[in-house]
Amino acid sequence: MTSFNEQVYALVRRVPAGRVMSYGAIAHLLGFPGKAREVGWALHVCPDDVPAHRVVNRLGGVSGDSAAGGAQIRRLLLEEEGVDFDSRGRCDLGRYHWEPTALCHPQRL
């Protein structure tokens, strides 16, 4: 049914390991620059096959600790995938922020 949230999942699913995307970027790429909050909601109810831990806010930090383990687990998963976090729990978006390129070519870290 190609609902907004379906499109979000489709995009997040193709994010390679060790890479992250911001809510706003996802919303913008889908053609809805103002619907960042809905992206957040989509991930809040995300199915198991969606690597929601690869989606962070625009500062590169994981959000929401309400879920079981939530933010902490997601951050650890990213670290396992090779994402380096700083003391404030944020990663370097300039290095890890990914966007759907045709080549899906992994850049040098």
Partner DNA sequence: CGAATGACCAAGC
Partner DNA sequence: GGCTTGGCCATTC
Question: Rule CB under 7 A: which residues touch DNA?
Answer: 4, 22-25, 32, 34-41, 43-44, 46, 52-53, 55, 57-59, 62-64, 66-67, 74, 88
In this structure, what token pair is assigned to residue 105?
A: 């070519």
Cα distance between residue 46 and residue 5, in whole Å: 9
Q: Which is nearer to DNA, 86 or 106 (CB)?
A: 86
Rg (CA), the chain: 13
The CB-of-98 to DNA minimum distance in angstroms stands at: 14
Q: How far is the CB of 60 from DNA (least distance, A)?
A: 8
3-state helix, strand, coil in the chain (%, to 5): 40, 10, 50
Q: Which is nearer to DNA, 64 or 100 (CB)?
A: 64
Instruction: Give the Cβ contact number of residue 62 at 10 Å.
Output: 25
The smaller minimum CB distance to DNA, of residues 18 and 55, is found at 55
